[in-house]
Amino acid sequence: MNDPIITIEGLNKTYEGGFQALTRVDLTIQRGEIFALLGPNGAGKTTLISVVCGLVNPSQGHVVVDGYDNVSHYRQARELIGLVPQELTNEAFETVWNTVSFSRGLFGKSPNPAHIEKVLKSLALWDKRNNRLMTLSGGMKRRVLIAKALSHEPRILFLDEPTAGVDVELRRDMWNVVRGLRDNGVTIILTTHYIEEAEEMADRIGVINRGEIVLVEEKAALMNKLGSKQLTLQLHTPLTVLPAALEQDELSLTADGYELVYTYDGRQEEEGRGISALLTQLEKAGIGFKDLHTRQSSLEDIFVDLVKERS
């Protein structure tokens, strides 16, 4: 897949006061993908999306959104983008319907009640359309932020930590809404420090740390490449030592001798030393086991390693 919808080149951002929040950021977002930008607090996620959305000026570099430079063709670029910000804004006395319809108007689009209705229904806000924002729960207010961002039918949606502080149910709902949008061809970029969010949602993951993109990778490839797996076998009879025929770096025996732990990452399989080879060896050595389980290292392990390495 190579059909970029956003191209970011050589982006630097130094805030007034001299803090450098972004350093040489190059990044391409593909049309139709869900891209998760993952990074610890203060890594530069919000700064990066604010620059792409034209809300913060870069110190250097440029951003092209579907062919439009986001500075020289600001209006065209901005019209393609919906942004769900982190913070709730305060239009307490307005109704849901008016707030969302007004947002559409801000982009110079003519009214389209059918579209607003569709958006509110997809976010389970239809029943609340005549409610003033102040009468909504926190979760509903967040849905209104998404509805506002979708009001002008953007082709690209940025979600800045969409599920920070929301309950599990709302998180699931939001993920479903996001997947539905992607199925309709909307490109999604979400920032998060919840690793499970990236793991669950994203096609590709970028990791940002201290203003630098330290990695961009397909999620599956990332987990494959960096994630190791562990197979644990519970033995019938404990062993005091590993038989010489079985000795290899990847295999170890627990202190009580009851468990064999095999750590592997795909390379062993390629070299003909994978799990099936191991099981054959065990059988030959007369070692029986009564149970086994596997564990895959999560994106969290990978992420912690990456951020640790670079700091």
Distance CA 35, CA 98 (A): 31
Residue among 2, 41, 110, 311 that touches ligand ATP (CB under 6 A) = 41
Please pick, from the candidates 3, 24, 26, 42, the single residue that binds ligand ATP as defined by CB under 6 A: 42
Instruction: Tell me the CA end-to-end span of the chain in Å, nearest whole number.
Output: 33
Question: Distances from the Cα of 245 to the Cαs of 129, 168, 248, 286, 287, in angstroms?
Answer: 71, 49, 9, 12, 12
The tally of CA atoms less than 13 A away on the side-chain side of residue 56 is: 20
d(CA 159, CA 197): 12
The reply on whether position 162 binds ligand ATP by CB under 6 A is no
Residue with tokens 């468990």: 259
Site size with ligand ATP, rule: CB under 6 A:
13
Residue from 21, 83, 84, 213 touching ligand ATP (CB under 6 A): that is 21
CB of 163 to ligand ATP, least distance (A): 13
Q: How far is the CB of 96 from ligand ATP (least distance, A)?
A: 26
Choosing from 15, 55, 71, 269, the residue that interacts with ligand ATP (CB under 6 A) is: 15
Smaller CB separation from ligand ATP, 47 or 70: 47
Q: Which of 29, 45, 63, 303 binds ligand ATP (CB under 6 A)?
A: 45
Contact 260, 241 (CB under 8 A): no
| Residues across the chain | 311
Query: Which CB atom, from 81 or from 96, has the smaller least distance to ligand ATP?
Result: 81
Q: Based on CB atoms, which residue is closest to ligand ATP, 21 or 80?
A: 21
The pattern of x and - marking residues 167 through 206 that bind ligand ATP according to CB under 6 A reads --------------------------x-------------
Which of 11, 35, 44, 79 contacts ligand ATP by CB under 6 A? 44
Q: With contact defined as beta carbons under 8 Å apart, do 207 and 281 qualify?
A: no
Window 86-125: residues binding ligand ATP (CB under 6 A): none
Distance CA 157, CA 50 (A): 13
* Look-up of token digits 């199925």: 183
One residue of 1, 3, 10, 19 binding ligand ATP per CB under 6 A: 19
Alpha helix segments (H runs only) across 111-167: 113-122, 138-150
Residues interacting with ligand ATP, by CB under 6 A? 15, 17, 19, 21, 39, 41-47, 193
